[in-house]
Amino acid sequence: MSLFFGVCVFLCTDDILQIAPSVSGGSLQWSSQCRYLGVCFVSGRAFRCSFDQCKCQYYKAFNAVFSKVGRLASEAVGLDLIGNKCLPVLLYGVEACPMLVRDKRSLEFTITRSLMKLFQTGFATVVSDCMNFFQFLPVSHQIDTLTAKFLENCILSENYTVS
């Protein structure tokens, strides 16, 4: 016997009567967000994504890396590990989601706080200077690069529903 679990998310701009649909005799619950393929969609007037879960997973990955390496390795090695192991967790799926400026700033703050721990400072300007010195792009630039590559691949795709 298999059980079906599901929710229904209201992603429409029209104010229509919300009637919970039923599947196999049971009704689905309404939810304000849903998670699909690791991306969290939020209900509202416009299509939006939530990055709270991504930030939690990023901090989990950062703490795992930092607890193993910590102060033993140089800052360059720590920054490289963060860029290769932790940052993809944070930036997963951002190229396909419309991002507000506040979302980009929130993700930037997440990186800045972890780099403050790595560089042992409490100043964002020091972190910014260290990022420039180590040629580590700010998150907003990385998001713009990922989005540009994604859109270019969509345009070049032979899938007619995408292009």
What pairs with residue 22 in β-bridges?
Answer: 27
Gap between the Cα atoms of 54 and 62, Å rounded: 12
pLDDT at 23: 58
Q: What is the pLDDT along the chain (163 residues), one digit of tens a residue?
A: 334 445 555 555 554 445 455 556 666 666 666 676 767 777 677 777 778 788 889 999 999 998 888 778 888 888 889 889 889 988 888 888 888 888 899 999 999 999 999 888 889 999 999 999 998 888 888 888 988 998 888 888 877 666 5
Q: Can you point out the beta strands (E) in the chain?
A: 7-9, 22-23, 26-27, 29-31, 33-36, 39-42, 48-50
Complete edge-to-edge strand list for the sheet that includes strand 39-42? 33-36, 39-42, 48-50
- Residue 6 and residue 13 in contact, taking contact as beta carbons nearer than 8 Å: no
The DSSP secondary structure of 137-149, one letter per residue, reads --HHHHHHHHHHH
Q: Report how far residue 8's alpha carbon sits from residue 137's, in angstroms, rounded to the nearest whole number.
A: 38
Alpha-carbon distances of 145 from 41, 86, 101, 127, 142, rounded to whole Å? 22, 18, 16, 21, 5
For the chain, give every domain's residue range: 7-48, 54-156
How far is the C-alpha of 52 from the C-alpha of 43, rounded, in Å? 15
Q: What is the pLDDT of residue 105?
A: 92
